[in-house]
Amino acid sequence: MTLREQIQQVIDDEPVAIFMKGTPERPACGNSLRALQALWSAGAPITAVDILPDPQIRQELSALSDWPTIPQVFVKGELIGGADITEELYASGDLGRRLDEALGSEREQVVKTVAVG
């Protein structure tokens, strides 16, 4: 599989995917941390991909998503936005509602990291 196909597979297969700088245990950027905290507070399961190991990851991701900045959050394959939108949706309660609709309200909250490339 090409790198782009691997990225697409994470987006398609994971309930909630975040492409971030660093990992949930060790976020390397304030914006990635903001998005993570909003997702966690909203009760989202989180699959994280660290984009830092290879600059190609970010290039391929942004080409796929038509979104220039990091982090990028996807729910059930759909781009939710970056840190600002994720925080805004959490604050308004819309993030919780979207997660309930997409994943059900009884969801399990697991955090994991997957590698691409």
Partner 1 sequence: MATDAIRALLEQAFPNGSVDVLDRTGGGDHFHVTVESASFEGLSLVEQHRLVNRALAAPLADGTIHELRITTKGTP
Asked if 83 and 89 touch (Cβ cutoff 8 Å), the reply is: no
Task: Tell me if residue 49 falls in helix, strand or coil.
Answer: strand
Nearest approach in angstroms of CB 72 to partner 1 is 10
How far CA 71 is from CA of 39, 67, 100, 106, 107, in Å, comes to: 12, 10, 22, 26, 23
Nearer to partner 1 by Cβ, of 9 and 59: the residue is 59
Least separation in angstroms between residue 11's CB and partner 1 is: 14
Closer by beta carbon to partner 1, 15 or else 71: 71
Residue 88 C-beta: closest distance to partner 1, Å:
7
Give the residue with the Cβ less far from partner 1, 49 or 95.
Answer: 95
**What is the rounded CA–CA span in Å between residue 40 and residue 80?**
15
Between 13 and 84, name the residue whose CB sits nearer to partner 1: 84
Q: How far apart are CA 99 and CA 76, in angstroms?
A: 9
Residues that bind partner 1 (CB under 8 A): 31, 66-69, 79-85, 88-89
Shortest Cβ 34–partner 1 spacing (Å): 10
